């Protein structure tokens, strides 16, 4: 089992470095083609921080480990919302733009509610399953979300940003992209296979492994990005990274996972989805309690305390 733990840690390192290399290469490629920095941030970097979840879920879905797929998505979103925002908000209170309050947070809440509906098949299907049709619905919604981002970007860019030509050669750029993709694939395979090995050896369910170890590991890029942004007092990146990642995870990553193989949805995940829905609703309500359109330290502390209690409860059920 010690070997499996070491291999998981190596896998996480490959996931984090792979995402970093992929973002660096893709950003350089975008700059060389005169794509504005804002567009790069809203697309390449946002996808880059979600790349570990994407690769882990694709591997898990291909190998028919539905509990790993769902545990990683739901667990990562809860980790992002409660753990990362809790830590970031304690470092520095997070000011939130009106568009995030009235649009992005409600979209994230809608995504969580939709996951509950699709998973429990509240429409006419025989079994609880996130089917390829469900995946298509999620992918269409992701396309609409990207269109919304594009419209927001067009509104906010009043002055054309200065484009800095990338100095890296095409060989170096594509080298970063290919090495990054290789690192992601290798890391995802190591994490999934060895997490399942540990779960089997110690009798812990794949659900708990997905909700805790894998979810925390694949959320490390979001954690690093948001903590650095907090120390730089860049609230937009700190909260935008989290809300954007949660939307990406459900609309994009879950849809691709369903395309690879329809996902069996176990109702034991419902309480975890309820936690996600409640936390997102709390975040929206918090914008109108205390300091307006700001996540205060006491609210962040409450998010963090809730996550610690919730995680302890999950583990206690397995002991």
The total of structural domains in the chain comes to 1
Average pLDDT rounded to a whole number, residues 217-223: 79
| Residue 315: band (very low, low, confident or very high) from pLDDT cuts 50, 70, 90 | confident
Q: Are 111 and 251 in contact (CB under 8 A)?
A: yes
Average pLDDT rounded to a whole number, residues 244-258: 93
Domain range for residue 163? 2-318
Query: Is residue 158's pLDDT more than 50?
Result: no
Query: Is residue 144's pLDDT more than 90?
Result: yes
Quote the CA–CA distance of 254 and 280 in Å, as a whole number. 18
Query: Is residue 285's pLDDT more than 90?
Result: yes
Quote the CA–CA distance of 115 and 77 in Å, as a whole number. 12
Average pLDDT rounded to a whole number, residues 108-136: 86
Across 36-45, 50-59, 60-69, least confident range = 36-45
**pLDDT at position 226, please?**
76
Query: Is residue 29's pLDDT more than 80?
Result: no
Query: Is residue 165's pLDDT more than 50?
Result: no
Q: Are 19 and 48 in contact (CB under 8 A)?
A: yes
Q: What phi, psi does 294 have (nearest 5°)?
A: -150, 140
Angle in degrees, CA 100, 247, 307, rounded to 5: 85
Query: Is residue 38's pLDDT more than 50?
Result: no
**pLDDT at position 307, please?**
95
For the record, the structure tokens of 92 come out as 């520095």
Query: Is residue 265's pLDDT more than 90?
Result: yes
How many Cα atoms sit within 13 Å of 227 on the Cβ side? 10
Across 29-43, 219-233, 281-295, least confident range = 29-43
Query: Is residue 161's pLDDT more than 50?
Result: no
Domain CATH code at residue 135: 1.20.1420.30
**pLDDT at position 119, please?**
92
Q: Dihedral (C-alpha) 8, 253, 33, 20: value to the nearest 10 degrees?
A: -20
Average pLDDT rounded to a whole number, residues 66-81: 94
Q: Tell me how long the chain is.
A: 319
Q: What distance, in Å, lies between the first and last C-alpha atoms of the chain? A: 18
């Amino acid at each position: 089992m010690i070997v499996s733990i070491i291999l998981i840690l190596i896998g996480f390192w490959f996931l984090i470095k792979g995402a970093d290399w992929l973002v660096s290469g893709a950003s350089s490629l975008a700059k060389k083609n005169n794509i504005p920095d804002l567009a790069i941030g809203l697309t390449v970097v946002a996808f880059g921080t979600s790349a570990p979840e994407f690769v882990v879920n694709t591997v898990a879905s291909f190998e028919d480990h539905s509990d790993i797929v769902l545990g990683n998505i739901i667990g990562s979103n809860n980790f992002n919302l409660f753990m990362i925002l809790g830590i970031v908000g304690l470092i520095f209170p997070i000011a939130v733009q009106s568009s995030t309050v009235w649009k992005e947070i409600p979209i994230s809440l809608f995504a969580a509610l939709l996951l509950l509906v699709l998973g429990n098949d509240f429409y006419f299907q025989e079994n609880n399953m996130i089917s390829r049709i469900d995946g298509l619905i999620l992918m269409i919604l992701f396309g609409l979300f990207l269109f919304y981002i594009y419209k927001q970007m067009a509104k906010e860019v009043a002055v054309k940003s200065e484009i800095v030509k990338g100095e890296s050669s095409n060989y170096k750029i594509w080298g970063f992209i290919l090495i990054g993709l290789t690192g992601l694939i290798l890391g995802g395979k190591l994490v999934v296979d060895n997490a399942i090995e540990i779960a089997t050896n110690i009798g812990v369910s794949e659900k708990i492994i997905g909700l805790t170890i894998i979810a925390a590991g694949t959320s490390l890029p979001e954690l690093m990005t948001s903590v650095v942004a907090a120390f730089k007092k860049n609230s937009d990146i700190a909260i935008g990274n989290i809300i954007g990642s949660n939307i990406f995870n459900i609309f994009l990553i879950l849809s691709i996972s369903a395309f690879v193989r329809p996902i069996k949805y176990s109702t034991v995940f419902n309480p975890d989805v309820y936690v996600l829905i409640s936390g997102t609703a709390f975040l929206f309500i918090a914008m109108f309690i205390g300091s307006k359109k700001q996540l205060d330290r006491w609210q962040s502390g409450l998010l963090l305390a809730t996550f610690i209690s919730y995680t302890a409860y999950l583990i206690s059920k397995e002991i």
